[in-house]
Amino acid sequence: MKLKKTFVLGAVMAGLLGSGLATANEEQFIGLPSYRVGPYAAGGSGLFGGWIDYMQLVNERDGGVNGVKLTWEECETEYNNARGVECYERLKKKGSTGNSVFQPVSTGITYSVLDKVAQDKIPMVTIGYGRTDAADGRIFPWVFPMITTYWSQASAIVNYIGTKEGGMDKLKGKKIGLLYHDSAYGKESHAIMDKLAAKHGFEVIKIAVAHPGNEQQSQWLQIRQAKPDYVVLWGWGVMNPTAIKAAAKTGFPREKLIGVWWSGAEEDTIPAGPAAKGFIAAGFNVAGANYPVVADIKKHVYGKSKGNMEDKTRVGSVYYNRGVVHGIITVEAIRKAQEKYGKGKALTGEQVRWGFENLNLDDARLKALGATGFMPPLKITCADHEGPGKVKFQQWDGNQWKVITDWVESDRPLVRGMIEESAAAYAKEKGIKPRDCSKES
């Protein structure tokens, strides 16, 4: 009898210890399809460095998300679609619950795995890139083009130009040049710019730059001949510094050259040298190391020599901070999902998807995270997978980016109308029945 009691007690103790150990060992796996070599490595190393540093911060400072340690594995895509798909397949079953979120950081890879994520029940988050109409969550439940889409960005840029001119009515008769990367990414701007031009009465002069864009003599001569009031730079990689230098060479004022968020990093302005002074760019995150969240990373991560950035001077740069934004959104979605599916538990991709869809980073939460002003408040719903659609504008002063506006809104009714129209056409083509969001909980 005594032996039996001892055995039962031992079993209970072992069970408790076992469960305790299990809790302590819970890990949430996040697969990172990164690009640290190849043509876009400079941006990739900053973005993924910031992202990993934030996750490291959560592990070091907080012991993980409610005790669940974050783990990750990078897979090198070299920004190549085929490799991106390979990485998706390689990462999807890693970790105790499989990959909980896939963030390809490439519009091409986004399109390549669009159908796969729905089949595998892994949410795909595309912050500031990807398929714009996927913002309609009724039709794209597994895709989250968060914070702002390309269409919202274009609209916010036009709104900013309107403000500079003294009102949207002042845009009538103006000319806006659109210097775009001749790819699906660059052409994503056409439809919205045409709509905005028709609405506000300005003329859009579209000028294509063939990949990679390291030679733009003829494009800038065309710009000089057309004499636009502003030029929107919709570039990527080497196209950006080349455009900025060519603008200087043709005498186009840099204060009227406005880049998109993939044109507005230190990697775009430093190679352009003094020619970049005055250049303005949009961003859904800002540059700077004087935010509490970045200060915490320096203290808890770099203070323990666990930082990911080889070049520590890049901490606080545009791409680095963009990586931190990726980290914040990922971690907060996991935290939100744990509220529903159990605190301290590792979650599946399907459960984390719910976290993304119910994410609410309001001012209070951003303040608690030390990210006030660092990124816009963000609320995602079943129908709206985009969120605020706002950007800030920064200006290069010759040495660093200076924020020159508050969050600038896009023309939400116009953009949302276009998103719903495009998503409905996609649903019709694919035979998808839109979700009824009133029935989602």
Partner 1 sequence: MQFFIEVLVGGLLSGVMYALVALGFVLIYKASGVFNFAQGAMVFFAALTFVGFQEVLPGWLGLEADSSAVFWLAFLLAFVAMIVLGIATERIVLRPLVNQPHITLFMATIGLTYVVEGIAQMVWGANVRGLDLGIVDEPIAWLMDNYEIGVSKFDLFAAGVAASLVALLAILFQYTKVGRALRAVADDHQAALSIGIPLQTIWRVVWAVAGFVALVAGMIWGARNGVQFALTFTALKALPVLILGGFTSVPGAIIGGLIIGASEKLAEVYVGPFVGGGIEGWFPYMLALAFLLVRPEGLFGEKHIDRV
- Minimum gap (Å) between residue 273 Cβ and partner 1: 5
Contact set for partner 1, span 304-333 (CB under 8 A): 310-311, 314
Strands 143-144 and 230-234: unpaired
The CB-based long-range contact list for 394-400 (8 Å cut-off, 24+ gap) reads: 394/264, 394/280, 394/281, 394/283, 394/286, 394/287, 394/318, 395/255, 395/278, 395/279, 395/280, 396/269, 396/276, 396/277, 396/278, 396/279, 396/280, 396/281, 397/277, 398/274, 398/276, 398/277, 400/266, 400/287
Compute the distance between CA of residue 411 and CA of residue 193 in angstroms, rounded to an integer.
12
Compute the distance between CA of residue 415 and CA of residue 411 in angstroms, rounded to an integer.
6
> Between 194 and 223, how does the x/- string for binding to partner 1 read (CB under 8 A)?
------------xxxxxxx-xx-xxx-xx-
Residue 231 binds partner 1 (CB under 8 A): no
- Minimum gap (Å) between residue 193 Cβ and partner 1: 15
Compute the distance between CA of residue 158 and CA of residue 165 in angstroms, rounded to an integer.
10
Compute the distance between CA of residue 409 and CA of residue 153 in angstroms, rounded to an integer.
9
Amino acid at 380: I
- For partner 1, give the closer residue by CB, 270 or 414: 270
- Minimum gap (Å) between residue 312 Cβ and partner 1: 12
Compute the distance between CA of residue 259 and CA of residue 178 in angstroms, rounded to an integer.
10
- Minimum gap (Å) between residue 377 Cβ and partner 1: 32
Residue 301 binds partner 1 (CB under 8 A): no
- For partner 1, give the closer residue by CB, 224 or 435: 224
Compute the distance between CA of residue 346 and CA of residue 97 in angstroms, rounded to an integer.
7
- For partner 1, give the closer residue by CB, 41 or 114: 41
Contact set for partner 1, span 125-164 (CB under 8 A): none
Maximal C-alpha separation, the chain: 99
Strands 124-125 and 143-144: parallel
Contact set for partner 1, span 233-262 (CB under 8 A): 237-238, 241-242, 245, 248-251
Residue 82 binds partner 1 (CB under 8 A): no
- For partner 1, give the closer residue by CB, 35 or 374: 35
- Minimum gap (Å) between residue 235 Cβ and partner 1: 12
Could you tell me where the DSSP H helices lie in 166-317?
184-187, 190-200, 217-226, 239-249, 266-269, 292-296
- Minimum gap (Å) between residue 89 Cβ and partner 1: 23
Strands 203-209 and 27-34: unpaired
The piece of 65-73, 138-146, 168-176, 267-275 that touches partner 1 (CB under 8 A) is 267-275
- Minimum gap (Å) between residue 375 Cβ and partner 1: 24
Compute the distance between CA of residue 359 and CA of residue 333 in angstroms, rounded to an integer.
6
Residue 270 binds partner 1 (CB under 8 A): yes
How many amino acids of this chain bind partner 1 (CB under 8 A)?
A: 44
- Minimum gap (Å) between residue 223 Cβ and partner 1: 11
Q: Are 209 and 216 in contact (CB under 8 A)?
A: yes
Residue 36 binds partner 1 (CB under 8 A): yes
- Minimum gap (Å) between residue 178 Cβ and partner 1: 11
* Residues at the interface with partner 1 (CB under 8 A): 36-42, 44-45, 182, 206-212, 214-215, 217-219, 221-222, 224-225, 237-238, 241-242, 245, 248-251, 267, 270-273, 275, 310-311, 314
